[in-house]
A and B are shown apart, each in its own frame.
Chain A
Amino acid sequence: EDKVVQSPLSLVVHEGDTVTLNCSYEVTNFRSLLWYKQEKKAPTFLFMLTSSGIEKKSGRLSSILDKKELFSILNITATQTGDSAVYLCAVSTQTDKLIFGTGTRLQVFP
């Protein structure tokens, strides 16, 4: 059975801290891995990763994929209260489906 597992489930940090969110997967017909940020409504897209070892970066956020070990990490540096959200990892399959992980709830306090 395909599965995507994220850790930790929940994280509480102070502003300015750096956080690393983990996503591991066991999915047949893997095509790509995606990260989303969800703040009470629909997920908003952050990154799509298809190749191992190539870091994607957007401001204070970055992500990398390891297709050999079947995991990805999402790093957020110098966290701000606006980063508080649930971060979802999803794997896209060759059958055009998205399989979502359990999510990591991040709370950033001032």
Chain B
Amino acid sequence: GAVVSQHPSWVICKSGTSVKIECRSLDFQATTMFWYRQFPKQSLMLMATSNEGSKATYEQGVEKDKFLINHASLTLSTLTVTSAHPEDSSFYICSAAKDRGGETQYFGPGTRLLVL
């Protein structure tokens, strides 16, 4: 149990376009979902925390107008990178938790974004 999927796995887009990444909890209801970004050879950096039906809480330095997060249901959260630029190229990983998170986060397989 506790499987999290992400779609797509890989996306290549042109600069200036928007990209949507989906994160789904397949066999449980996720009260909380987290979005992380990982640059090459660096660690995971938390971008935002989202709770179903409410606005996401963004970490310091993360632009909420650029990284739109929607947690529309207990099994789905989406991250939209708006007007993507090459510096947004990164590995985006979501995690989902049945409760408030912390230790009990289940990670998705990640989405690799390349902006040309």
Contacts and interface: CB of A to CB of B under 8 A. Distances in A.
Q: Do A and B bind each other?
A: yes
B44 interface: yes
Most A CB atoms within 10 A — which of B41, B43, B93, B105?
B43
Interface in B1-42: 4, 32, 34, 41-42
Interface residues of B, number: 21
B56 to A, nearest CB: 13
Given A42-B108, A42-B109, A103-B43, A96 B100 contact: yes
Interface string B39-59: 001111110010000000000
A98 B46 contact: yes
B42 A43 contact: no
A11 to B, nearest CB: 14
B87 interface: no
Interface in A17-76: 31-32, 34, 41-44, 48
A99 B34 CA distance: 12
Contacts of A7: none
